[in-house]
Structure 1
Amino acid sequence: MKVLAFLAAAYVALLLPNPASAGMLAQAQQYKGLHEIKNNKTLRAVLGINPARTPWCGHFMGLIARKSGRSPPQSFSFARSWLRFGAPVKLAYARAGDVVVVRTGRGYHVGILAALSKSTAQLIGGNQSGGVRVSQFARGQVVGVRR
């Protein structure tokens, strides 16, 4: 009986969305479509920086974490700092709403997992082609997943 209860709890924990992660995804989607030039005043007001002049994926994630009741990492403006956010998750177990850090050339980018396929991770985030949108990254670019 105890084994069955344990298996049921593990099943629920793996399949049901984490409320904190789901909250971050929902928050990010509210900003979808905003662009660093066309919506500069709005983004400046919520981010506290000029997104047209500053790399802002980390700033956007800081905003989303705080709006979701979570604490961003100390140096949240740097994408790589998000490797210290929450708890680590293996890519194979990543779910929509998890924070994903990817390697982009010589730098890093951070966003929220919207969907995962065999070959790509779709992230919603800021500073993706100048705006808040969903972009695809190769799974091989993923350096960390956090929940």
Structure 2
Amino acid sequence: MRVIAFLAAIYVAFTMPDTAAAGMLAQAQQFTGMHEVKHNRRLRAALGINPARTPWCGYFMGMIARKAGRQPPKSYSFASSWRHFGAPVRLSYARPGDVIVVRTGRGYHVGVLSALSKSTAQLIGGNQSGRVQLSQFSRRQVVAVRR
């Protein structure tokens, strides 16, 4: 009986992160196209801040994580804090739904992986050209992959 319980626990431990990651992608996709000015009221209510005045990619990811049943990092409003979310994953093993942190000039941006090619990571995230949308980032910009 203990062996069966142990094996069941291992199964849950290894399958749960994938399910949670997929949940984050599904949650993010529901907001695709929402603009920080055009949809300000709805985004302001969901994020708890005015996205037209505040950098909001971290706030968006915090909301998405909570909706998917995950605990965002303590300072989730800062994109760089997502480098410590969940468990680390090598970029070569990244899957849709994983959290990706990219370096953008002197700062960071965070989003949910939608697709990965040989040269780019396609992320869905908030505050990408002022809206929730899919954007391409070079794989060289990726500083963290978290599941």
TM-score by length of 1: 0.89
Q: Report what 1:118 is aligned to.
A: 118
Give the letter aligned to residue 76 of structure 1. Answer: Y
Question: In 1, distance between residues paired with 2:122 and 2:58?
Answer: 17
Please, which runs of 5 or more residues in structure 2 have no aligned partner? 1-13
Please, which runs of 5 or more residues in structure 1 have no aligned partner? 1-12
How many residue pairs were aligned?
A: 136
Q: Report what 1:137 is aligned to.
A: 137
Deviation at 1:45, TM superposition (A): 0.3
Deviation at 1:52, TM superposition (A): 0.3
Equivalent position SS for 2:27: helix
Q: Report what 1:9 is aligned to.
A: none
Q: Report what 2:77 is aligned to.
A: 77
Give the letter aligned to residue 27 of structure 1. Answer: Q
Moved over 2 A (4+): none
Equivalent position SS for 2:45: helix
Q: Report what 1:68 is aligned to.
A: 68
Question: In 1, distance between residues paired with 2:93 and 2:123?
Answer: 16
Q: Report what 1:128 is aligned to.
A: 128
Q: Report what 1:37 is aligned to.
A: 37
Give the letter aligned to residue 61 of structure 1. Answer: M
Q: How big is the alpha-carbon RMSD for the aligned residues of Structure 1 and Structure 2? A: 1.8
Deviation at 1:120, TM superposition (A): 0.2
Question: In 2, distance between residues paired with 1:86 and 1:51?
Answer: 25
Question: In 1, distance between residues paired with 2:145 and 2:56?
Answer: 19
Deviation at 1:72, TM superposition (A): 0.1
Question: In 1, distance between residues paired with 2:51 and 2:19?
Answer: 29
Residues 13-32 of structure 1: per-residue CA shift (max 9 Å, x gap):
69xx8100000000000000
Equivalent position SS for 1:35: coil
